[in-house]
Structure 1
């Protein structure tokens, strides 16, 4: 970037300098320190020794591969349900129905309410003695007695997924609703005049045109879900018997609960690698959709 006199103009870079310094201080330095700690036996003891890749060897020698598989399974189910419910919700909210604005407003509470408060509400509903879900199921004859949803492995695992879907679906719905509203109504009207059914119009017009938004939201939702901590921790703290322990929960338990800072840092580095892969794939998809749209414009 040059000035009118031909000399380099450093003023734009000076404007970016404060943001760069802040980014280096709150992102780059902690990340570098985490990587450094991952090669040490840092703990509560006063002396820290360099141990090379021993922490990473411990990770794969223990049950961490099982934790990784559980994390991807938890993320895959949650993101899939978010996208399916989000697309269906966006279709309904985009329909010409009476009170559409009111129904759009009803979508927002799970997103607006602080996550901790919403999850505590779900924890109360999952309670077998006085929770609403167990009480209604008993009243309808589905259950013969109180059932503790968070006390058994499978029930706790899928209960955390239900709560995560409840928290994340409004964002997906609103985002895809905006994408649907950007589609010209002339396309649907022309297809309707030609006798195309609603499902056919969705498959041939709506879905292809919102696919970039679906891919973007799916990848972003995967990143957020993979790194989700508060929902699982408030509901189960990773239990029962590690049934809901994902990578982020396992890292927290190792570094904070057991004070193994070096081993916890190694786990955190693994999380950074996975999330960086998601981010790289996200930017690749964005650039691909951008090139495709430019080619279509030509």
Structure 2
């Protein structure tokens, strides 16, 4: 029996993608990991310093930055998922003008994030911003209020913008998942007298649960690494109130030209995201297994 020769053609087709992944992902990460153990700056004298950058990072109050980042991610992603799910339900409803509503929900996601952030910074301005002006006319505020000038209000203002940008993608993603649910299940439940909320809770939600898990994980990663919104609105201020891990990394590596310290912070970001993603998938697998056994 003639032995079949090894087929190299599929590997040749995959080679460009693998090479591109190595060049734009693997090599930069390896180089960042190497720099994290050096005192690299703008100067030519680069030497190995071991774990000094990591030690110095935590001595500089990095734990507060980590906590702030996870609060930022948790609040923003929770609001995106809740409002995005509500938006998907409304967009899926059989009402006149549904197609137009689906088109109108797109602009926050289509408009470049930088432009959206600049527009919101004007809205938040206490002197000529619309939000402060409307609040004064309604009697909510006694005078101009600078939303981006105070720690708590700046943090919440940045979250509002991040949620506003992220809701359309979540809504459309979950809308597509809802439309994939077989209509026969809803019709059978409706025939048996099941109400709208019962059908949504017992049929729609369980079937779109994998989609909810996927988009929530992606949203968490994007929110964790959100840079443009915070930087344009506050640049991490006031008094570091909106400084997340990605902002702190940028300040160290780019603003202060401490590439070694910035690389150490970047490695920590990758580590945290890897641990978070692994824990998320393990939890999702356990929940799925418990549902199958019940």
Asked whether the equivalents of residues 93 and 177 of structure 1 are also in contact (C-alpha less than 8 Å), the reply is yes
1:253 is aligned, of 246, 251, 254, to: 251
Instruction: Report the counterpart of residue 31 of structure 2 in structure 1.
Output: 33
Q: Distance in 1 between matches of 2:283 and 2:110?
A: 29
Q: Distance in 1 between matches of 2:74 and 2:282?
A: 20
Asked whether the equivalents of residues 212 and 289 of structure 1 are also in contact (C-alpha less than 8 Å), the reply is no
Task: Report how far residue 147 of structure 1 moved.
Answer: 0.4
Q: Distance in 1 between matches of 2:24 and 2:208?
A: 36
Trace 1:21-100 onto structure 2 (pairs within 5 A).
21-100=19-98
Task: Report how far residue 184 of structure 1 moved.
Answer: 1.5
Trace 1:176-187 onto structure 2 (pairs within 5 A).
176-187=174-185
Q: Distance in 2 between matches of 1:215 and 1:28?
A: 27
Gaps of 5+ in 1: none
Instruction: Report the counterpart of residue 174 of structure 1 in structure 2.
Output: 172
Instruction: Report the counterpart of residue 138 of structure 2 in structure 1.
Output: 140
Moved more, 277-286 or 66-75: 277-286
- What secondary structure, in the 3-state scheme, does the structure 2 residue paired with 1:134 have? helix
Task: Report how far residue 287 of structure 1 moved.
Answer: 7.4
Instruction: Report the counterpart of residue 112 of structure 1 in structure 2.
Output: 110
* TM-score, normalisation: structure 2: 0.94
Trace 1:121-270 onto structure 2 (pairs within 5 A).
121-270=119-268
Q: Distance in 1 between matches of 2:20 and 2:281?
A: 24
Asked whether the equivalents of residues 219 and 278 of structure 1 are also in contact (C-alpha less than 8 Å), the reply is no
Task: Report how far residue 286 of structure 1 moved.
Answer: 7.9
- What secondary structure, in the 3-state scheme, does the structure 1 residue paired with 2:274 have? helix
Task: Report how far residue 40 of structure 1 moved.
Answer: 0.6
Residue 251 of structure 2 corresponds to residue 274 of structure 1? no
Task: Report how far residue 123 of structure 1 moved.
Answer: 0.7
Q: Distance in 2 between matches of 1:261 and 1:78?
A: 30
- What secondary structure, in the 3-state scheme, does the structure 2 residue paired with 1:47 have? coil
Asked whether the equivalents of residues 125 and 132 of structure 1 are also in contact (C-alpha less than 8 Å), the reply is yes
Q: Distance in 1 between matches of 2:55 and 2:31?
A: 20
Q: Distance in 2 between matches of 1:277 and 1:177?
A: 29
Moved more, 12-21 or 23-32: 12-21
* TM-score, normalisation: structure 1: 0.92
- What secondary structure, in the 3-state scheme, does the structure 2 residue paired with 1:34 have? helix
Residue 100 of structure 2 corresponds to residue 102 of structure 1? yes
Asked whether the equivalents of residues 223 and 278 of structure 1 are also in contact (C-alpha less than 8 Å), the reply is no
Alignment root-mean-square deviation, CA? 2.1
- What secondary structure, in the 3-state scheme, does the structure 1 residue paired with 2:96 have? coil
Kindly tell me the number of residue pairs found equivalent between the two proteins.
292
Runs of at least 4 residues off by over 6 Å: 285-293
- What secondary structure, in the 3-state scheme, does the structure 1 residue paired with 2:148 have? coil
- What secondary structure, in the 3-state scheme, does the structure 2 residue paired with 1:150 have? helix
Asked whether the equivalents of residues 216 and 282 of structure 1 are also in contact (C-alpha less than 8 Å), the reply is no
Write the deviation string for residues 34-93 of structure 1: whole angstroms up to 9, x where unpaired: 011000111123211101011111111121000000000000000000000011000111
Task: Report how far residue 284 of structure 1 moved.
Answer: 5.4
Write the deviation string for residues 173-212 of structure 1: whole angstroms up to 9, x where unpaired: 0000011111112222222232222222211111111111
Q: Distance in 1 between matches of 2:235 and 2:10?
A: 47
Gaps of 5+ in 2: none
Change (3 A) 1:186 1:15: closer
